[in-house]
Amino acid sequence: MNFKSIRYFITLAHCLNFTQAANKHHITQTAISRYIASLEEQVGVKLFDRSSRKVTLTEAGRIYAEGMEKMLKEYDKLLEKTKAAGNTYQGHIKIGIGIYEYSNIEHFFSRFLETYPEVKVDIFQFPYSTLTEQFKNNELDLIISLSMSKESYKENQLRCVDLFTSENVLVINREKLEEKYAQSKVEEILRSEYLVTNCEESGPNSLKMLRGLLERDFGFMPEQIVQTNSLSTQLLMAKTGHGVAIVPEFISEIHDDSLKILTLPQKKPQQYCALQKADSRNEAATLFMDFLEQVE
């Protein structure tokens, strides 16, 4: 089985555009067309309908894509375990984190790896909706996230270790603040400026969640909202004066001369925690959770 052809096929099945699929794998459109044609010849059926205007999956292609995507994930897991065994690791953990947590958890990982060097730890960062979905589908052994990530589970389905709490703060371009808002009133700023946020349409870090927090603490939701997909773009807009951002106070990048940090009148700080499924059989992941419980 040619796994390269399979990966190209799955990418094309998702985007249905030969140019996009080729760009993603850094090959030419002609090359990916040859791989797909070879795969169709090998399978013995037509996987795509092609026209001058669009590319669509055939019914056979849809079935093949669903099956092969599952098989490829299992193959990748097997490959990781094989490599870990070959590198004499005694365990392997796949840990997911959200868009903010990286800035306040380095000491947990450094101390764990110093204590247990025989355990291989892979860390992945995702938007919160993707993070919780991958955790739900057992593609991650545990996640470090907002405590709201556990809300879709029953209490006995998860093991939770609380790690730290953090207030949120408002960041704004320092020059804009001095020029427009002499009194530095947060409510006035939120009513006047675009609020730049990484909140998603759904999941634990959703716009609905943001609305609930702001209405709880301020009594209103700003009318002007701009959604971004990363912390870097969120802060870029704030630094250049194109809106303001609400972020956790532990984020190191906000301590920048171009930004002013303003305290928010919050009634309750955000809780961040590590989550593992209660029925997990990954002993290394359980060891990591045990370790977190003991870290001061």
3-state per-residue secondary structure call for 267-284? CCCEEEEEEEECCCCCHH
Cβ atoms of 148 and 203 within 8 Å: the answer is: no
Q: What is the pLDDT of residue 84?
A: 63
Tell me the mean pLDDT in the region 289-294: 92
Average per-residue pLDDT for the chain: 89
Could you read off the pLDDT of 198-231 as tens digits, one per residue? 988 888 888 888 888 888 888 888 889 999 988 9
Give the residue among 133, 111, 101, 128 at the shortest CA–CA distance from 271: 101
The β-bridge partners of 125 are 97
100 pLDDT tier (thresholds 50, 70, 90): very high
Between CA 236 and CA 242 the distance in angstroms is 8
Q: What is the pLDDT of residue 1?
A: 64
Tell me the mean pLDDT in the region 104-115: 91
CA neighbours closer than 13 Å in the CB half-sphere of residue 181: 19
Tell me the mean pLDDT in the region 261-273: 88
Q: Which amino acid does the sequence have at 117?
A: P
Between CA 230 and CA 240 the distance in angstroms is 16
Three-state DSSP at 185 gives coil
Domains (ranges, CATH) in the chain?
A: 3-82 (1.10.10.10), 89-165+271-294 (3.40.190.10), 168-268 (3.40.190.10)
Q: What is the pLDDT of residue 125?
A: 95
Helix H or strand E encompassing 19? helix 18-24
Q: Indicate if the pLDDT at residue 69 is higher than 70.
A: yes
Between CA 261 and CA 180 the distance in angstroms is 16
Least confidently predicted of 63-77, 85-99, 136-150: 85-99
88 pLDDT tier (thresholds 50, 70, 90): low
Tell me the mean pLDDT in the region 270-295: 93
